[in-house]
Amino acid sequence: CTEVMVRLDQTKREFDEGTFRQDLSQFGDSLLVIADESLAKVHIHAEEPGNVLNYAQHYGELIKIKIENMREQHTSIISQESKPAENEKPPAKQPYGIVTVAMGEGISDLFKSIGASVVIEGGQTMNPSTEDIVEAVKSVNAETVFILPNNSNIIMAANQAASVMGEQVFVIPAKTVPQGMSALLAFNPDQEAEANEANMLSAIQQVKSGQVTYSVRDTHIDGKDIKKGDFMGILNGTIIGTAEDQLSAAKMLLSEMIGEDDEIVTILYGEDASQEEAEELEAFLSEKYEEIEVEIHNGKQPLYSYIVSVE
């Protein structure tokens, strides 16, 4: 797991985010890149992290490098869990911590890999309580904690938890997983809490969120007659269309979401979708939108065949 921030120097090489992302993709998977005029933040799972650093260095000075062997990390966790605690001193508080909510093992792992301190299991049908969120904030052991609810039904509980915990707990009202990921990628540990809050709030406004799920009964909603078993494409909380199968619904949804200025599509496929089907969706996008970069991750989420973001 390789993470690095690049302080961009246009005199070394002109930075183009699309080229940068495409070139990095050859070194590994689970690639995430967020960039502005002066800084690029990279996360990637790579067998040879040195290649990532060497390439990134062509664009400027490398700062905040973090490389973790995920296999060793797993082994260490198992080992530590088997040892009794003896005269352990409480760890010192970290400057920052991030608590987020996710539904699906793959999405949880993705949040952790891009910087989440604690991931609470929850979502559309299993909302965590205020107490659950308070306990998660306490477990982070940080001076300042950001909470990402990632569901409109959880925002109230998050706000109540922040009220209980005090001033240094900030709720970023992300209503979807894509918003939460965008906010987390906008977080910069070198900035003050208020600046991070502003950046994260701005980030959730820049991403379009889509979901594909199925109807459990005949209904009429958002001006549409929907039959039981139909797959619905949902854009920013509004049903925009239906289809008889989930792949067609995903194609319809993304065709509606993608605009002229968009550059990146991220696809999280769930328990009811296969990697092969997700790759078919990727091929459809690559053929229809030549300039779009597509990232695919196995979110393993229930209920939603696909969760997609467009930026």
Single-letter amino acid, residue 131: E
**Is domain 2-71 classified as CATH 3.30.70?**
yes
- Please tell me the predicted confidence (pLDDT) of residue 40: 87
**Is domain 93-206 classified as CATH 3.40.50.510?**
yes
Q: Which two tokens stand for residue 244?
A: 């008889």
CB 56, CB 42: distance < 8 Å: yes
- Please tell me the predicted confidence (pLDDT) of residue 93: 84
What SS3 class is residue 160?
helix
- Please tell me the predicted confidence (pLDDT) of residue 214: 92
- Please tell me the predicted confidence (pLDDT) of residue 72: 62
Single-letter amino acid, residue 168: Q
CATH class of 208-310: alpha beta
CA distances from 217 to 49, 222, 227, 250, 270 (A): 49, 15, 6, 20, 21
CB 90, CB 39: distance < 8 Å: no
Q: Among residues 215, 219, 188, 216, which one has the least CA distance to residue 202? A: 188
What SS3 class is residue 181?
helix
Q: Where along the chain do the CATH 3.40.50.510 domains lie?
A: 93-206
- Residues of the chain under the 50 pLDDT cut: 77
- Please tell me the predicted confidence (pLDDT) of residue 225: 85
Q: Where along the chain do the CATH 3.30.70 domains lie?
A: 2-71
CB 218, CB 226: distance < 8 Å: yes
Strand 39-46 relative to strand 94-102, pairing = unpaired
- Please tell me the predicted confidence (pLDDT) of residue 287: 93
Kindly tell me the burial class for residue 260, based on how many C-beta atoms sit within 10 Å of its own C-beta (0-12, 13-18, 19 or more): exposed
Question: What's the rounded Cα separation, in Å, for the pair 168 and 189?
Answer: 15
Question: Does residue 41 come out as left (phi exceeding 0), alpha (psi in the -120 to 50 range) or beta?
Answer: beta
Q: Where along the chain do the CATH 3.30.1180 domains lie?
A: 208-310
Strand 142-148 relative to strand 118-121, pairing = unpaired
